[in-house]
Amino acid sequence: MTSVDTSYPPPDTSIREYFTTQEAGIGERREQAARYAGFFRVLFDEARAMFCPVVKEARDLRRQLVIERPERQNFYENVVRKARSNREEEKKLQVRIMCNTRTPVD
């Protein structure tokens, strides 16, 4: 009978093979620790390269909202307009909050 891996997220086979495949000289604790350290160094370098543009974009948006007054004003006016048009949802939320509030036990 063939087993099917149904875990989520599915395992990353390349990582598993990297850490479980024995290479010459890898086996002692120091060498294994060095292997893990090297893997995580590369992992974080790659993640930084991938996410730095996103972070820069978020910083630029923050700068627009905080520093550039017209953009900030337009942003919040739009938020308030949408919030006002959504009064029924706000009332439902208030009822849900009141129903979920617990009184402290003395």
Please state the rounded mean pLDDT for residues 5-25: 76
Alpha carbons 76 and 61: distance in angstroms, whole number: 13
Whole-model pTM over 0.75:
no
Asked if pLDDT for residue 24 goes beyond 60, the answer is no
**Distance (Å) of CA 25 to CA 15, 18, 42:** 19, 14, 21
pLDDT band at 106 (very low <50, low <70, confident <90, very high): very low
Asked if pLDDT for residue 37 goes beyond 70, the answer is yes
Which stretch of DSSP H or E encloses residue 31?
helix 29-66
φ, ψ (nearest 5 deg) of residue 14: -65, -40
| Token duo for residue 50 | 């991938």
